Structure 1
Amino acid sequence: MSTEQARPAPDERRWKALGVCLAAGFISLLDTSIVNVALPSLERGLGASEAVQSWVVSGYALTFGLALVPAGRLGDMRGRRQAFLIGLALFTVASLACGLAASPTWLVFFRLIQGTAAGLVAPQTSGLIQQMFQGSERAKAFGVLGTVIGVSTAAGPLVGGLLIDAAGTDDGWRWVFFVNLPIGLAAFAVGLRLLPRLPAPGKHEEFDLFGVLLLGSGVLALMLPLVQEQQWTGREKWALLPVALLLLGGFWVWEKRQGALGRAPLVDLALFSLRSFTLGALISLTYFAGFTTVFFLYALYLQNGLGYSALASGLTVLPFAVASAIGAALGGRLVMRFGRRLVVIGLGGVALGLLGVVAAVQLVPGPNLGWASALPLLVGGIGSGMTVSPNTTLTLTRVPVNRAGAAGGVLQTGQRVGSAAGIAVVGSVYFAHLANHGRAETAMQLGLLSSVGIILVALVLAVADLRERQVRPEPEKAGVTAGRGWDEEGVRPGS
């Protein structure tokens, strides 16, 4: 009997189950950007110092990134449903604790737990999509996920601004965390009923704890100087980067050894023999390095440079959020037809939109910038939607389902590292020019041009991948691709 004949019929509740995944994904990604506009409220209402504010923002990103790969592998081995629900419950409780925090120290502590919980949830979402959907349906599901990624990231400043405006500056920051509670509780209750269980594995696999230690230490050494770039003065922090390279190199050697001995590695390195996965992960890392920095810079410039309120600043990115949702929906429908060409078009649209914002800053330097940048942000948003979800689909399309969680964790770890690196690099450009010359408009333009330069690197990678596919197409099936190590069910001999 063929693999297709043996595959069970799709679960009729799969689209409703996807809704549960998207709700959890929305609140976990919303929290990466919503707190940015709440920092003045934190300072006034809780007495949070600049160092505390930095850790509230960067600590979440740090623990989020550290948890992704181990959590993805854990879901692959023990069940994505269980890992998802545990992570969601922990995230909801941590959100409540953040909102009730009585001191800055407790807020940072609970925020670190919240980031860890978000990192536990995120790879289960991509793994569950791989598990529940096939073919064009999977592309559409990733398209909807791309919509959520774009909307949640861009809508964070708007939602935060609305909450602070409604609750007041002293206590508004608490509602930035409380807003997660009804969504988290509802998603957990529905998820208990709808989320599918992972079929029992054929053999017991041990969890690679030493691999977790090596990878976690390497990612920590890599991300720490990036997320603390503005707070840690001096060059000593960059000494952690060669340490990170040594640890990550040791992780690679250890994982190869695990595979050679027939043991289950944390990350199956055969994933990187798939060109679609390797190039897609690089494109994702580079794109998020350029894309995430835009909202960071824009909020800084509008509030500090032009005197916008938190709510007004959030409203200015609404065109990007709406357009990103539209672009992601289109991308999910068209990716199976156009493939990597769609990513190339999307990246070109983002670059064009950001150049339009640069022009708007030059031509309309006053308080009307929000209106002047609406059209360029609309163009950039459509491009972003047509980049994120199609690239995710193409990156994971040949990954075996029983490796989907770990693969999703690798992909999203790259996104977190890219975001941290992009903010460090572009933020340095912005703050250095502001400190040396005092011209916020020029600093903003230089920062945006730096973001465009990073996105153009992602565009070059996408074009290179497209040309390579035209010359040497990748085999259609994961099993064929692995003449390189996997059979049709995604199982490596000896694993």
Structure 2
Amino acid sequence: MSTTVQEAVRPAAAPPPATSPTDEALAEEALAEEAPTDEAPTDEAPAGAPLRLRWLLLAVVTGASFLDSLDVNIVTVVLPAVQRDLGAEFATAQWTLAGYALAFSLFLITGGRLGDIHGRKRVFLAGVVGFTLASAVCGFAPNAELLIAARLLQGLTAALMVPQVMSVIVTLFRPKEWPVAFAVLGAALTLGSVGGPLLGGLLTGLDLFGLGWRVIFLVNVPLGLLITALAARLLPENRQEGPARLDLPGVALLTAAAFALMYPLVQGREQGWPAWMLLSVLAAPVLLVLFARHQRRRHARDGSALVPPPLFARRSFAVGLAVTLLAFTGIGSLALILTYHLQYGLGWSVLRTALATAAWPVGIAVTFQIAWRHGMRRGRLFVGAGAAVMAAGSLLLMAAVRTAGADLSWWQVAGAELVVGFGMGLCSPVLASTVLSEVPPQDSGAGSGVVNAVTQFGSAAGVAVVGAIFLAATGDVATDVLDPARIDRFCSATGATLWYNAGAFALTALLSRLLPAPATDSSSDSATKPAEGAPA
């Protein structure tokens, strides 16, 4: 299973996109796995349960997705406050963002398969309980090391609970009820995405009970406990018929490759780039080759590969993954750089930063419906246009930072963010469906999981790469002394770093020409059509 709803609502670690990439692919995957019908409900497909109970259960499972969406976005604007309070290095901020997305991406597909094997209720409850406990640890973490470990645990447990949500919806409700159910889920995700930065800024600014930034994590605890209690009492058990196997060696190899690359990028400068870190970077592609060979053998033996090799037989899918990865390296890192520039470089408050960056999801909300209603058969066009608009927004932000300097105004930041949001709203809702449009229906579930894992990994990798560029240009970001020389250094460094984001979006727009062409017949039309009930 995967989280496509999420990609439209959030790029991990970025100021929230209003829907994280694409619900339609997740819906396709859930439908491919569940294939429910309008036949009389059974114990495994309790669509005949009382209407009131079904909508209560919908509120329970969408509450879990809301927590995930909220927690990704609520943390972005408070990272400087976290760093100050813990006396931590800049790498702590990078890991706080990238660690969650990385763990989520690595265990996303496995989390869905665990639900198939052990029952979706059981795995959902394990995910919610784990997420709640990890949130409490984040809130009370006395040092950066424990905070990072807890964020990794949050990402892992989110990968257990989120994939079960779509399966629960398609088994609880009849097909004619899916549109409303998916709309409720989409609204919950959008609320978490849009409200996350604002809530984070407000709670941190209020300094409730003297807890400061810690409240943004502790707010998850009562919500998590409520979801756990209701799900344990009301949610029916459901699992996939037939055998399902886990590819744990594949997960281990992919995790090793990801950390071999990510750890040096995040920690390298602060530790002086020792020789073993350079060897680690060189080891990453070797581990990826070993992973690919393992996947081919596993698929040939029993078809249980984590990433099925036949997906890559279609060039459009391989190119689509590259486009997705590139786009989300730019999306996932933009919030980190902007937040540090505004708070450490210019001395803005957490709340003022949150209010300015809230223009991003507003922009998404404006164009999202256009893409959702008209972009599914013109995916290549919408992806290219959206990426070009995001590149333009990044250039506007760069120009404002460089020219205004210390006098950068709220409206200049919000205006550039609004343009980036316009582009995200055009691109995000159709990206995954476009990448998957030539994948056979029987492989759509696996393909959806891979696309969403790549999306999350792209966000994590972007935070690592852009964070390294930014830190190299600014030097020590932790001091609160604001003087003209420091402001000039931050403006120069932020402007230079934003070239990466603008370049990533521009290259995404160029590469979008290699995505599958618009549908011209009924068969391809059905392949690109979003699953019924995806959030509107």
Q: Within 2, Cα distance between the matches of 1:398 and 1:174?
A: 46
1:444 to 489, 494, 503: 494
CA contact (8 A) 1:124 1:405 kept: no
Task: Give the deviation of 1:185 after TM superposition.
Answer: 3.8
Q: Within 2, Cα distance between the matches of 1:335 and 1:301?
A: 35
**Residue 109 (structure 2) aligns with:** 69
**Residue 355 (structure 1) aligns with:** 395
Residues 133, 452 of structure 1: alpha-carbon distance in 2 compared, 3 angstrom cutoff: farther
Counterpart residue type for residue 261 of structure 2: L
Counterpart residue type for residue 219 of structure 1: A
* Partner-residue secondary structure (3-state), 1:308: coil
Task: Give the deviation of 1:222 after TM superposition.
Answer: 2.9
* Partner-residue secondary structure (3-state), 2:131: helix
Task: Give the deviation of 1:180 after TM superposition.
Answer: 1.8
**Residue 385 (structure 1) aligns with:** 425
Which 10-residue stretch deviates more, 408-417 or 344-353?
408-417
Deviations 1:341-380 (A, max 9, x none): 2222222221222222223224433344221232232121
**Residue 303 (structure 1) aligns with:** 343
1:9 to 22, 38, 58: 38
* Partner-residue secondary structure (3-state), 1:366: helix
Q: Within 1, Cα distance between the matches of 2:138 and 2:305?
A: 35
Task: Give the deviation of 1:317 after TM superposition.
Answer: 0.7
Q: Within 1, Cα distance between the matches of 2:117 and 2:445?
A: 9
Counterpart residue type for residue 27 of structure 1: L
**Residue 485 (structure 1) aligns with:** none
**Residue 492 (structure 1) aligns with:** none
Counterpart residue type for residue 443 of structure 1: A
Q: Within 1, Cα distance between the matches of 2:169 and 2:397?
A: 35
Task: Give the deviation of 1:86 after TM superposition.
Answer: 2.2
1:110 is aligned to 2:150: yes
Residues 132, 242 of structure 1: alpha-carbon distance in 2 compared, 3 angstrom cutoff: farther
Quote the sequence identity (%). 35
Counterpart residue type for residue 265 of structure 2: L
Which 10-residue stretch deviates more, 51-60 or 91-100?
51-60
Residues 271, 366 of structure 1: alpha-carbon distance in 2 compared, 3 angstrom cutoff: same
1:216 to 236, 239, 255: 255
Q: Within 2, Cα distance between the matches of 1:52 and 1:359?
A: 29
Q: Within 1, Cα distance between the matches of 2:524 and 2:414?
A: 42
CA contact (8 A) 2:342 2:348 kept: yes
**Residue 505 (structure 2) aligns with:** 455
CA contact (8 A) 2:470 2:497 kept: yes
Q: Within 1, Cα distance between the matches of 2:136 and 2:344?
A: 30
CA contact (8 A) 2:76 2:335 kept: no
Residues 240, 190 of structure 1: alpha-carbon distance in 2 compared, 3 angstrom cutoff: same
**What number of residue pairs does the alignment pair up?**
472
**Residue 484 (structure 1) aligns with:** none
Counterpart residue type for residue 496 of structure 2: L
Matches within 5 A, 1:53-64: 55-64=95-104
Residues 154, 422 of structure 1: alpha-carbon distance in 2 compared, 3 angstrom cutoff: farther
2:264 to 207, 215, 225: 225
CA contact (8 A) 1:154 1:318 kept: yes
Deviations 1:153-181 (A, max 9, x none): 66544322211111269511220101223
Deviations 1:25-78 (A, max 9, x none): 343243334334434544565555666555444443443333223223333444
Compute the RMSD of aligned alpha carbons.
4.0
Counterpart residue type for residue 490 of structure 2: A
Counterpart residue type for residue 234 of structure 1: W
Q: Within 2, Cα distance between the matches of 1:401 and 1:183?
A: 37
Q: Within 1, Cα distance between the matches of 2:176 and 2:373?
A: 8
Task: Give the deviation of 1:8 after TM superposition.
Answer: 0.7
CA contact (8 A) 1:71 1:406 kept: no
Task: Give the deviation of 1:99 after TM superposition.
Answer: 1.8
1:464 to 496, 514, 520: 514
Residues 397, 85 of structure 1: alpha-carbon distance in 2 compared, 3 angstrom cutoff: farther
Q: Within 2, Cα distance between the matches of 1:43 and 1:445?
A: 23
Q: Within 2, Cα distance between the matches of 1:253 and 1:294?
A: 35
Residues 445, 352 of structure 1: alpha-carbon distance in 2 compared, 3 angstrom cutoff: same
Matches within 5 A, 1:244-323: 244-274=284-314, 277-323=317-363
CA contact (8 A) 1:147 1:325 kept: no
* Partner-residue secondary structure (3-state), 1:264: coil
* Partner-residue secondary structure (3-state), 1:221: helix
1:35 to 75, 80, 87: 75
Residues 251, 132 of structure 1: alpha-carbon distance in 2 compared, 3 angstrom cutoff: farther
Q: Within 1, Cα distance between the matches of 2:437 and 2:429?
A: 12
Task: Give the deviation of 1:281 after TM superposition.
Answer: 2.7
Deviations 1:128-153 (A, max 9, x none): 67888999998998898777777756
Residues 460, 374 of structure 1: alpha-carbon distance in 2 compared, 3 angstrom cutoff: same
Which 10-residue stretch deviates more, 341-350 or 234-243?
234-243
**Residue 452 (structure 2) aligns with:** 412
CA contact (8 A) 1:140 1:333 kept: no
Which 10-residue stretch deviates more, 305-314 or 183-192?
183-192
Q: Within 1, Cα distance between the matches of 2:266 and 2:194?
A: 20
Q: Within 1, Cα distance between the matches of 2:328 and 2:90?
A: 25
CA contact (8 A) 1:320 1:377 kept: yes
1:204 is aligned to 2:254: no
CA contact (8 A) 1:81 1:195 kept: yes
Residues 105, 304 of structure 1: alpha-carbon distance in 2 compared, 3 angstrom cutoff: closer
Task: Give the deviation of 1:451 after TM superposition.
Answer: 0.3
Q: Within 2, Cα distance between the matches of 1:162 and 1:249?
A: 46
CA contact (8 A) 1:63 1:112 kept: yes
Task: Give the deviation of 1:327 after TM superposition.
Answer: 2.9
Q: Which runs of 5+ in 2 are unaligned?
A: 1-31, 40-46, 477-484, 528-536
Q: Within 1, Cα distance between the matches of 2:173 and 2:190?
A: 21
Q: Within 2, Cα distance between the matches of 1:227 and 1:18?
A: 39
Q: Within 2, Cα distance between the matches of 1:377 and 1:283?
A: 22
Counterpart residue type for residue 460 of structure 1: L
Task: Give the deviation of 1:23 after TM superposition.
Answer: 3.6
**TM-score, structure 2 normalization:** 0.74
Residues 55, 372 of structure 1: alpha-carbon distance in 2 compared, 3 angstrom cutoff: closer
Task: Give the deviation of 1:325 after TM superposition.
Answer: 3.1
